[in-house]
């Protein structure tokens, strides 16, 4: 369900697969993962939870992260988040 695919090297995004998880787990796991990243690091999430389209942007706003990209996929969403500095 969830995987860390690659590390954050040279500004590359860390990929976190959160497909199959239902609200509130995608946000809770994204928040916990963000805590382990250095300021300015990027995290790319993929989710299948239909509420993630609302919940992830809200999480970014509340925690001060920058939502750089949002993409609607056939079965979910993809988000690119930059951790606050």
Q: Phi and psi for 5 in degrees, rounded to 5?
A: -85, -50
CB 65 within 8 A of CB 81: yes
Q: Spot the catalytic one: 23, 28, 51, 67.
A: 23
23 catalytically annotated: yes
Nearest to 83 by CA among 27, 39, 25, 49: 39
Indicate which residues carry an active-site annotation: 23
């Amino acid at each position: 369900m969830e995987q860390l695919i690659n590390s954050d090297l040279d500004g590359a995004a860390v990929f976190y697969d959160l497909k199959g998880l239902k609200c509130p787990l995608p946000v809770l796991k994204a928040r916990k993962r963000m805590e382990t990243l250095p300021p300015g690091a990027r995290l790319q999430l993929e989710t299948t939870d239909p509420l993630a389209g609302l919940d992830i942007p809200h999480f970014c706003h509340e925690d001060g992260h920058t939502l750089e990209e949002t993409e609607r996929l056939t079965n979910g969403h993809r988000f690119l988040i930059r951790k606050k500095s």
